Amino acid sequence: PILNSQVRRIRGIKWSQTHRCWYLPMDEKCCREALKIFSGSANTDTSDLRTYLVKRKEVAMITEEIPAIRARSPITAKTLVRYAISDENMKALYAFVHTLVLKAYSPSTIKNYKNEMMVLLRLLGDRAVDQLDTKQIKSYLLWLLKKKNYSEMHLHTAINAIKFYFEKVLNRPRTVYEIPRPKKPFTLPAVHGQQSITTLIKGTENLKHRLMLMMAYSAGLRVSEVVSLQVNDLDTERKVIHIKRAKGKKDRQVPLSERLMKDLELYLKNFNPGTWLFEGQAKGEPYSVRSAQSVFQKAKEKAGIGKKSGFHSLRHSYATHLLENGTDIRLIQDLLGHNSIRTTVRYTHVSTRDLNKIQSPLDRLDL
């Protein structure tokens, strides 16, 4: 927070939501202002932080684990050192990330595994992670479960990250960590009725935003798939959409809605996008996932939909409405790109196709 407050003062500097970094014009005046902050010549409050950055070239990202941030107290060099990762463990972290990249893991998986690995490395302090044995790792996992209140899915990610390091980076034998896990709750996906979807889309006046919502609902796309669509992915002649390298690095084809094609033709004429179908604020950059989620939330508020749901509920609604209209569940599995039919079967629990055939005993009473 301290460093960000100083960076914001630099003339012309902006934040890139897509690349998650600051950028500024390449001119002498801007660069001089930036250098003043990091060289210490500017009158700033970052002396402690600068001292630490000079002392250590490699610093782990500060997360919510730091009590000083939670308490909104000043961040000092002492606080940073306390939660820093040792040089030896930093090398282990680099090897860990590099192996993930070489094995072509997805960016989201790399990020999640790295975060879990950093929690462990911060806790170890100066002790080398390579020295941990199975008993100590199990004790750490139980600590995550009991003290940190990790959910089953979260703990599963932590286990996978640790197993990857010891088995793939250090090439040690496979190890099974028998950890008692809480029973996973069975939750139903959030689904909107067709009338709610109609109100949602009609109330969105911005053509680009409306088309994004229509695209997600008409083809059951994830938000990441919507913002990753390229103009060439739309085959209007065959009326199909090519979804490339989606979750699990799988390609698939889904039908291109005829109703969608009307708005799509108007959109392409007015916006004239380049490579990406939905461009962000900067020309040539794709729309960000966070911005797309914000578009959905604003459209939901405008439509007066109080149900708690996110952008992904459009995909849930697509699958449920197909099922209610009599589409074979195996075909829905292929359209959604699910590996297992068990993932698709859960939509049978929210479908009203069979529920509407059941008459409540109350309705038979002569009241």
- How far CA 115 is from CA of 57, 154, 205, 311, in Å, comes to 20, 11, 39, 25
The model's pLDDT over 330-347, given as tens digits with 9 standing for 90+, comes to: 999 999 999 889 889 989
Q: What is the mean pLDDT of the chain?
A: 83
Which contiguous run of DSSP H or E holds residue 2? helix 2-7
Per-residue model confidence (pLDDT) at position 193: 93
The model's pLDDT over 9-53, given as tens digits with 9 standing for 90+, comes to: 787 888 887 777 888 887 777 777 777 766 555 554 445 555 545
What mean pLDDT comes out for the span 82-105?
85
Which contiguous run of DSSP H or E holds residue 154? helix 152-164
Q: Which residues contact 313 (CB under 8 A, 6 or more apart)?
A: 189, 190, 191, 192, 307
Q: Which residues contact 360 (CB under 8 A, 6 or more apart)?
A: none
Secondary structure (H, E, C), 270-338:
HHCCCCECCECCCCCCECCHHHHHHHHHHHHHHHCCCCCCCCCHHHHHHHHHHHHCCCCHHHHHHHHCC
Buried b (16+ CB within 10 A) or exposed e, 306-329: eeebebbbbbbbbbbbbbbeeeee
Per-residue model confidence (pLDDT) at position 1: 67
Per-residue model confidence (pLDDT) at position 255: 93
pLDDT-derived band at 68 (thresholds 50, 70, 90) equals very low
Q: Six-digit token pair at 161?
A: 């990250």
pLDDT-derived band at 280 (thresholds 50, 70, 90) equals confident
Whether the CA torsion 291, 294, 295, 296 is positive or negative: it is positive
How far is 311 from 314, CA to CA, in rounded Å?
6
The model's pLDDT over 190-246, given as tens digits with 9 standing for 90+, comes to: 999 999 999 999 999 999 999 999 999 999 999 999 999 999 999 999 999 999 988
Residue 66 has pLDDT above 50, yes or no: no
Report whether 159 contacts 141 (CB < 8 A): yes
Residue 69 has pLDDT above 60, yes or no: no
Residue 264 has pLDDT above 60, yes or no: yes
Indicate the pTM of the whole model: 0.69
Per-residue model confidence (pLDDT) at position 260: 92
Q: Which residues contact 176 (CB under 8 A, 6 or more apart)?
A: none
- How far CA 167 is from CA of 117, 132, 170, 206, in Å, comes to 14, 13, 6, 50
Q: Determine how many CB atoms are found less than 10 A away from the CB of residue 234.
A: 20
- How far CA 98 is from CA of 104, 105, 163, 169, 215, in Å, comes to 10, 10, 16, 9, 36
Burial of 37 (0-12, 13-18, 19+ CB in 10 A): middle
Per-residue model confidence (pLDDT) at position 210: 95
Instruction: Indicate the DSSP class of residue 72.
Output: T
Indicate which residues carry an active-site annotation.
222, 247, 312, 315, 338, 347
Residue identified by tokens 């060289």 is 39
Q: Six-digit token pair at 32?
A: 């001089």
The highest-confidence range among 167-176, 190-199, 358-367, by mean pLDDT, is: 190-199
CA dihedral 221, 223, 225, 230 (to 10 degrees): 110
Instruction: Indicate the DSSP class of residue 150.
Output: -
Report whether 125 contacts 145 (CB < 8 A): no
- What percentage of the chain reaches a pLDDT higher than 90? 45
Pairing, β 14-16 against β 21-23: antiparallel
Q: Which residues contact 33 (CB under 8 A, 6 or more apart)?
A: 9, 10, 11
Judged by average pLDDT, the poorest of 58-62, 75-79, 210-214 is: 58-62
One-letter amino acid at 343 equals T
Q: Which residues contact 48 (CB under 8 A, 6 or more apart)?
A: 75, 76, 77
Per-residue model confidence (pLDDT) at position 26: 76
